[in-house]
Structure 1
Amino acid sequence: MSAIEKRLAELGFELPEVAAPVAAYVPAVRDGDHVHTSGQLPMVAGKLPLTGKVGAEVSAEQAGELARTCALNALAAIKSVIGDLDRVTRVVKVVGFVASDPSFTAQPGVVNGASHLLGDVFGDAGVHARSAVGVAVLPLDAPVEVEITVAVRD
């Protein structure tokens, strides 16, 4: 078990299996010293635990937890490409999409669920650039989707 996976366990999390793609793409791709994940839905054992719009059917707090699940799924996708999360040297960028009720404007707080997890796991190397975007709908009616880019070493 890598030091990163041990840190996840200390925080009460376990790295999930890589979520199966829901269309024609791969979960992550390495390009030079970066790994880019596809957008990760908050799948748990192949299913979405909640669906709907944040600010309507899904609370901001629930959506933040789902964003954290998305980040865990992204880490699993990265591990599937590089084999060992200890090879991650920095989280470079996080992009979070929040399926929002038209009156909901707290997308940054939702995406904090992913950002806080990455900071807790990677420390200073987990501090990243980020976008948090409200959208009308996401695949499978997911409330949140997160993609990340990390720098890695050989």
Structure 2
Amino acid sequence: MDVYARLEELGITLPKVVPPVASYQPAVRSGAHVYVSGQLPVADGALLAEGLVGTDITPERATELARYCALNALAAIEGLVGLGKVTRIVKVNGFVASAPGFTGQPAVINGASNLFGEVFGEAGQHARAAVGVAALPLNAPVEVDLIAEIAD
């Protein structure tokens, strides 16, 4: 599958790589894997929403925001090695800043998981964790990181 043709078919334009907000790299290659740092829902240099899912942010909006996180993760891979080298999305970790009692983290992180499936097909199917947390950097409602397998 030509990932670039698939992105075009889906009408997806990758954003620019989000600059780190602390001391880390957006993505690092080690052997046949790329490890993408936690990506926030940032577009054009601005956080798209702030607050807790379940009070400040609806679960539906949080799912959209998780998709933005996934796009930023793809941009980090593109910037490091190119998406054409991805052979599989191996593992996705999703973090949801959750109001007390909110338990819909898996549905929220589906926003990211579904994007990977749309873009990579079967190679986008991955292992995953969807975790509720008290707070995230910059008061973001969601954060996504991933591990991708790549070919030389």
1:111 aligns with 2:76: no
Residue deviations 1:113-148, cap 9 Å, x none?
Answer: 000000010000000000000000000000000001
Would you tell me which structure has more strand in proportion to its own residues? 2
How many residue pairs were aligned? 152
RMSD of equivalent CA atoms: 1.1
Q: What is residue 97 of structure 1 aligned with on the other side? A: 95
Q: What is residue 12 of structure 2 aligned with on the other side? A: 13
CA distance in 1, matches of 2:99, 2:141: 10
CA distance in 1, matches of 2:97, 2:129: 14
Which shifted more, 117-126 or 10-19? 10-19
Q: How do residues 6-45 of structure 1 correspond to structure 2 at under 5 angstroms?
A: 6-45=5-44
Q: What is residue 121 of structure 2 aligned with on the other side? A: 123
For the 8 Å contact 1:5–1:15, the answer to whether it is kept is no
SS at match of 1:75: helix
CA distance in 2, matches of 1:124, 1:96: 20
For the 8 Å contact 1:67–1:113, the answer to whether it is kept is yes
Question: By how many angstroms is 1:79 displaced?
Answer: 1.1
For the 8 Å contact 1:5–1:14, the answer to whether it is kept is no
User: Kindly, what percent of the aligned residue pairs are identical?
Assistant: 59
For the 8 Å contact 1:94–1:128, the answer to whether it is kept is yes
Q: What is residue 59 of structure 1 aligned with on the other side? A: 58
2:42 aligned partner, one-letter code: M
For the 8 Å contact 1:96–1:111, the answer to whether it is kept is yes
2:139 to 124, 138, 141: 141
Question: By how many angstroms is 1:9 displaced?
Answer: 2.6
SS at match of 2:88: strand
Question: By how many angstroms is 1:7 displaced?
Answer: 1.4
1:138 aligned partner, one-letter code: L
CA distance in 2, matches of 1:33, 1:55: 38
Unpaired runs of 5+ residues, structure 1, are: none
CA distance in 1, matches of 2:88, 2:110: 17
CA distance in 2, matches of 1:137, 1:6: 37
For the 8 Å contact 1:63–1:110, the answer to whether it is kept is yes
CA distance in 2, matches of 1:127, 1:91: 7
2:78 aligned partner, one-letter code: K
Unpaired runs of 5+ residues, structure 2, are: none
SS at match of 1:92: strand
CA distance in 2, matches of 1:9, 1:43: 21
